[in-house]
Amino acid sequence: MRVKKGERIEVTQRGEAIALLLPLPTADQTASALLELVVDGAITWSGGKPHGADPLLVVRGRPLSATVLEERR
């Protein structure tokens, strides 16, 4: 609940930091961060689909979730 409220929590093991739990940025924060990168010239975007983005994978046959559920029985 503390992270949900905006607090960052450091996870340690024997006094050494091993992980950091922090809230996800909102859509507005993400958009403004991307806009800042564009303004700074660090990235460019022409409005199209990003290069290198693979098309969605089409899977045929029985859903994997059904197989997993069956194996758990």
Q: What is the rounded distance in angstroms from the CA atom of residue 41 to the CA atom of residue 46?
A: 13
Percent of the residues in the chain that have a pLDDT greater than 70, as a whole number: 96
pLDDT at 73: 84
Whether the pLDDT of residue 22 is over 80: the answer is yes
> What band does 64 get if pLDDT is binned at 50, 70 and 90?
confident
pLDDT in the model for residue 55: 73
CB atoms within 10 A of CB 24: 9
**Lowest model confidence (mean pLDDT) among 13-17, 24-28, 45-49, 53-57:** 53-57
Domain ranges of the chain: 1-45
Q: Please list, in sequence order, all residues whose beta carbon lies within 8 angstroms of the beta carbon of residue 20, skipping any fewer than 6 positions away.
A: 8, 9, 10, 11
Kindly tell me if the per-residue pLDDT of 54 is higher than 80: no
